[in-house]
A and B are shown apart, each in its own frame.
Chain A
Amino acid sequence: MGFLDIDNATKSYGAVEVLHKVDIAVEEGEFLVLVGPSGCGKSTLLNMIAGLEDITSGEIRIKDQVMNGVHPSKRNIAMVFQSYALYPNMTVGQNITFGLEMHGVPKPERDKAMADVAKLLQIEQLLDRKPGQLSGGQRQRVAMGRALVRNPDVFLFDEPLSNLDAKLRVDMRTEIKKLHQNLGTTIVYVTHDQIEALTLSTRIAVMNGGYVQQLGTPKEIYDTPANLFVATFMGSPSMNLLPVKIVAEGDTLLAETTSDAGAPVRLAVHAPSDALKSFAGQTVTMGVRPEALTDVDGADQRSTHVERFSNTVTVTEPAGSDTFVTTTIGGVECIARMRADTDARPGQPSEFAVNMEKAIFFDPKTEDRIV
């Protein structure tokens, strides 16, 4: 039994099922991020938790109370919307206390709650202004204040940062994380930004096509994605996917591909699983994150298994802190993350290092990871 239980929840519009048996248990104080591309059903799921959309089948429980059919205002939840949804005709103070007023909280208590929240979010000087007079970041704070003042069981965030400019988004991200750490509230947060998902969450549900593709901690999602969709959706630049042939040679298992010069590249697989051994002789997809494909000096010093090969550099993209180097292996363009002052030059051969500890393999037919 979790704090918030989503139990086989399904959503259909007529005959079209848009959300298929979602099963997530959220513990108290957890920060769950629902992430996925547009139309994956993440906002629908959030609205179902909020009570703004009906649940077609299955159950949603908060603190073991079944929420199906319960009015949004009776669920003890608060929601921050993408557009902030501040009431334009009310001042910031009235916006914050509107929910308390609707719940019949007496005025002195409302004013005290408002003062506390305003202090926490540092918006005391804004309380008499109208939302139209605020900047994007200030509106965002007010929207959070409106949610916080209710002291709800669960906070719901619907892409709250997507209307802010890049710098402010990073700042607010940190602030939401701080808020969560200080208050220990239970949060369900919807975003399509995988970086937001990785930085904020304690757990992530990656969704696509109405299915939860993988549910896990940010590290699990990033290091051991369950399938090709999760592998490519999470991480930027996205994971390199190389077709490799699995060759068994004595006790070692080799992943074999070719360099752009046609020479064979043979990489010994680190601690091969039995499942992967059964793929010997077949072609599978090897996934390598850009930071696991580096120049030799930049390879992870703590890794116990680094393989090297030589290949021609096609493009270099200096990004300040790193240089992204594009190279073609086995006919597929790969991106390597090298040190900023790497010697790699376009058109020149360069030595590459692969951290095989981080290499993972997918079955090209089912697209699932081979475990």
Chain B
Amino acid sequence: MSIASQDAGIRTGRVARTFIYLVLLLFALFYLLPLYVMLVNSVKPLSEITGGGMMSLPQVWTLEPWAKAWSTAQIGVEPTGLRPYFWNSISMVVPAVAISTILGALNGYVLTKWRFRGDTILFGLMLFACFIPFQIVLIPMAAVLGTLGLSGTTAGLVLVHLVYGIGFSTLYFRNYYAVFPTELVRAAQIDGAGFFRIFWRILLPSSGPISVVCVIWQFTNIWNDFLFGASFASGDGAPMTVALNNLVQSSTGVKEYNVHFAGAILAALPTLLVYIVAGRYFVRGLMAGSVKG
């Protein structure tokens, strides 16, 4: 495919190519515009924004909105900034992602290498988790969390995301392991490795790409989730997304747009980082199943 498009590129004239790049550049600028607005306005004093210069570069550069958004902005009762909520999100995301990925890998392993009667039906049922809209489960989930005594806790949120995440992580790992040679598992059995040893020593070390895909997917979803955070976490236990909303939607006082912009970037930063660090594995992992055969 790449060769064909290169040929096409060589045949098109210089004028056409300039035109194509110009259009692409325009689109890129257009899509970068919101980021530009956010970045620029997060480093200028509020007066410059309210003065009407939203698109212009700051006359006075300041990092104060960032500091304020992070540590002193009024969100809950105390002027704590986003910092405690950021840690709320971290302590929710890390266990939820880790556990759902590991369980997904285990499920995929069992569903492909230790097959049993009805495994396909079970897998099909697990896939429902990928299609059920979040809103439907809010009330039953609240009842379950209440029964378990986890209402309003981070542990409760972890459980919710775990339950929702397993569907996807199982799907990823099952399809990845389906093309993983079963003879390897049999060889390991003859070598004397048990169920978990085979998993840890043979399958997991070969699951790099799909694990990255799964982690990115789960991290992005769970970090960005607002509905569950708003529904099942209360007050000081709220995750970053809910805190950002509270910061931006506050009805008292002056709207500090520069602080809001800084806060929004702070909230988006972790997912951005995950993509930058692991992004190149993402496509590779998504393609892995299709080219291995």
Which A residues fall within an 8 A CB radius of B?
Answer: 50-52, 71-73, 77-79, 81-83, 85, 87-89, 98-99, 102-103, 146
Contacts and interface: CB of A to CB of B under 8 A. Distances in A.
A81 B206 contact: no
Contacts of A78: 190
Given A87-B202, A89-B202, A81 B187 contact: yes
Contact of B190 (A83, A87, A99): A99
Given A89-B202, A89-B205, A89-B206, A102 B183 contact: no
B138 interface: no
B186 interface: yes
Contacts of B183: 81-83, 85
B186 A102 contact: no
A75 B118 CA distance: 30
Given A87-B202, A88-B206, A89-B206, A102 B192 contact: yes
B280 interface: no
Contacts of A87: 184, 187-188, 201-202
Nearest to B203: A89
Nearest to B202: A87
28 contacts: A50-B186, A50-B190, A52-B186, A52-B190, A71-B189, A72-B186, A72-B190, A73-B191, A73-B193, A81-B186, A83-B181, A85-B181, A85-B183, A85-B186, A85-B187, A87-B187, A87-B201, A88-B184, A88-B206, A89-B202, A89-B205, A98-B191, A98-B193, A99-B190, A102-B191, A102-B192, A102-B193, A146-B187
A52, A78, A146 interface centre (most CB from chain B within 10 Å): A52
Contacts of B205: 89
A82 B187 CA distance: 11
A52 B185 CA distance: 10
B284 interface: no
A215 to B, nearest CB: 26
Given A72-B190, A81-B186, A85-B181, 12 more contacts: A50-B190, A52-B190, A72-B189, A77-B190, A79-B186, A81-B187, A85-B183, A87-B187, A98-B188, A98-B193, A98-B201, A99-B192
Contacts, number: 55
Listed from nearest, the 7 A-B pairs whose CB atoms lie closest are: A73-B192, A99-B191, A102-B192, A89-B205, A85-B187, A85-B183, A81-B183
B21 to A, nearest CB: 40
B136 to A, nearest CB: 40
B17 interface: no
B190 A73 contact: yes
Nearest to B208: A89
Contacts of B181: 83, 85
B255 interface: no
Task: State the main secondary structure of chain B at its contact with A.
Answer: helix
Contacts of B189: 52, 71-73
A288 B154 CA distance: 83
A146 B202 CA distance: 15
Contacts of A81: 183, 186-187
Given A73-B192, A89-B205, A102 B187 contact: no
Interface string B191-215: 1110001000110011000000000
Contacts of A73: 189-193
Contacts of A89: 202, 205-206
B184 A85 contact: yes
A72 B191 CA distance: 8
Nearest to A158: B183
A299 B125 CA distance: 71
Contacts of A77: 190
A103 B192 contact: yes
A77 B186 CA distance: 13
A78, A89, A103, A146 interface centre (most CB from chain B within 10 Å): A89
A52 B187 CA distance: 10
A51, A82, A83, A98 interface centre (most CB from chain B within 10 Å): A98
A43 B93 CA distance: 48
A78 B190 CA distance: 7
Nearest to A78: B190
A205 to B, nearest CB: 22
A72, A85, A88, A98 interface centre (most CB from chain B within 10 Å): A85
B181, B187, B193, B205 interface centre (most CB from chain A within 10 Å): B187
A83 B179 CA distance: 14
A51, A72, A81, A87 interface centre (most CB from chain B within 10 Å): A87
A140 to B, nearest CB: 14
B64 to A, nearest CB: 51
A71 B181 CA distance: 21
B187 A79 contact: yes
A87 B181 CA distance: 10
Contacts of B188: 87, 98
Interface in B49-108: none
A318 B97 CA distance: 68
A261 B31 CA distance: 88
A170 to B, nearest CB: 24
Contacts of B201: 87, 98
A131 to B, nearest CB: 10
A78, A81, A83, A102 interface centre (most CB from chain B within 10 Å): A102
A79 B190 contact: yes
